Amino acid sequence: MNLEKEELLDNCMIQPECISINNHTELNSDWGSTIKRIKKESPYIKIKIKELIDFIQENHLYYGISCLRSYIKTIIPEVGYDPIFSPKNFKVILTGLDLGLKYIIRTDANGACPFLKLNKCLIHKIKPLDCKNFPYNKDGSLRRDSPFISICSGLQKK
């Protein structure tokens, strides 16, 4: 099946953790990775963060909050926790990556990937690194968390 670029964009979002504010939850006890990068690289932290906020608000569509409640509060004002910001086009993704943003595929309420149909990946040739590494974590350990066990029959057998 051939996917349209718009379908990819509709299911792509900024990873909330990368623009998180510190000390709001146990899972989110430190500044997000993009904010850490700004703090490390620039003496003009407030200016850079303002530019990042402006970029996100001007170049992404806001779809409200995620149904997978992780209670991550971001630097974006007045959007609450777990915002869904999808890029307006592919150039936005490239610019966002240069700014230190991370993009992920937006899953449904059960954690299922929108590109997994009949147990086949629809974006196999261009899938993101996390998908290529599935079912392993970044440290190489096997994922054991839900919903991955229910998705991957190989995990169910182990």
Is this prediction's pTM over 0.95?
no
DSSP designation for 13: E
- Is residue 154 scored above 80 in pLDDT? no
* Cβ-based neighbour number of residue 34 at 10 Å: 24
Q: Where are the domains of the chain?
A: 5-110
pLDDT tens-digit series, residues 58-84:
999 999 888 777 778 888 988 878 899
pLDDT tens-digit series, residues 80-127:
788 999 999 989 998 998 998 988 888 777 777 787 777 777 777 666
- 147 preceded by cis ω (within 30°)? yes
* Separation of alpha carbons 73 and 23, rounded Å: 9
Beta-ladder partners of 60: 87
